[in-house]
Amino acid sequence: MNSDRELRAAIVGYGGMAQNHARLMQRHGIRPAAVYDTNPQRLEAAAAEYPGIMTFGTLEAMLARPDLDLAVIVTPHYLHAPLAMSVIRAGKHCIIEKPMCIGAKEGQELIRAASDNKVMLSVYHNRRWDGWFLKLRELMAQEVLGDIFYVEMLHSGYQEPGGAPRMQWRADKRSSGGILYDWGAHYIDWLLGIMPAGVETVRGYAQKRVFTGITNEDQVDGIIRFSDGAVAHLQISSISLVKRHRIQILGTKGAVTEQGNGTLILNTRENGTPVETMLPYEKGSGSHHLFYANIREHLLYGAELAVKPEQAFTTVAVLEAITRSAEDGREHAFE
C-alpha cells in the first residue's frame, strides 16, 4: 500500500459508537469516507455530521467501491461475523467492534477468510489503552508483582440491561451473546494480557432471579484455571445492590487493586514490613485513539498489529466456554 496516501474507511452501522470510531480514526489520517446503515435517518445524520461522506442503503453497493481501504463493523454482536465476512470477501481490511463475534467457530472462519483474502482483521479492544492497565503493564515489566497466581474482576450494579430503546438488543441473548459479551469481553481481554500461561479449564455459573422479561442472565460468574495453576474469578452482575467495580491482582511479590477512581493501589513488603503505594493513572478514554494510530502504522508501514485476530478469538472462546459451562453445569476443558 502506498504509504503517502490517505486511508479511506467505511463504517458499517451508524449507531452511537460509530461517531466515536469516526472521531478517533480522523486523528490519525484515516478518513470516514462512507457509511452503510439500513436506517435512512442514520444515513441522514452521517451526511450532516460528515459533509461529502458517501451513504449506502446496501452493503454490497458500498463494498463495490474500489476507493475504500477498510471497513469498521459497529453493529449488534450477532451481526459482527456475517458482516465482517462480507467485508473480508470484498477484499477490504476489517475492524470489528468488540467482541469479535459470539461463537468461536465464527471467529475461526473470519481469521481463515482474512488470511485467504490477504486482508487485515482486527478487533476494537480499545481498553488495552486504559490508564490503569498501562500502569499495570509497567509494574509487570519491572517484575514488581512476581508470579501472578490469582485475579479477581468484578463489574456489577443493579439495573435492567438494555437501557435506551435503541440498545434493547443488549438485553437479548441471541443478539448480544449474553451478559458476559459486553463488559466481560474487556475483562477477559485484560485477563489474557496479564496471565502468562494458557487457559486450561473454565467453570461458569449463571443466575436468573430478577429481570425475567429479558433473555440475558442476571449474573454470571466464571472461574478460569490456567496451566500454571493460577486462578481467575470474573463476575458480571446486573442485580447487585452494591455497585462494585474492582480488579485485584495477587502476585508472589506484590498485589494491585484497581477500583476505577484514578489511583492504582500497590501492596508490597520491604524488609518484612507492609508497604502501600498509591499510583495515579490517566482516567477516561484519552489514549484509546492509539488503537487507530496502530492500524494506520500497520497498513501503511508494516508495524506489528496491536490487537491480533487470534487474541480476540481467544477472548470469544473463553466467553463462550463460560456460557456453555453455566448452561450444562460442568467444568469445561479449554482447547
pLDDT in tens, 245-258: 899 999 999 999 99
Examine the pLDDT at 55 and tell me if it is beyond 80.
yes
Grid look-up 486482508 returns 119
Domains and CATH numbers, the chain: 7-124 (3.40.50.720), 128-286+316-333 (3.30.360.10)
Reading the block at residue 30, the C-alpha cell is 484515516
Per-residue pLDDT at 15: 85
Between CA 221 and CA 206 the distance in angstroms is 7
Per-residue pLDDT at 329: 98
Examine the pLDDT at 21 and tell me if it is beyond 90.
yes
pLDDT in tens, 277-308: 999 999 988 999 999 999 999 999 999 999 99
272's torsion region: left (phi>0), alpha (psi -120 to 50) or beta?
left
Per-residue pLDDT at 12: 98
Name the phi and psi angles at 115, rounded to 5: -65, -45
pLDDT in tens, 135-179: 999 999 999 999 999 999 999 999 988 766 667 899 999 999 999
Examine the pLDDT at 1 and tell me if it is beyond 70.
no
Amino acid of residue 87: V
Between CA 9 and CA 21 the distance in angstroms is 10
Between CA 239 and CA 258 the distance in angstroms is 22
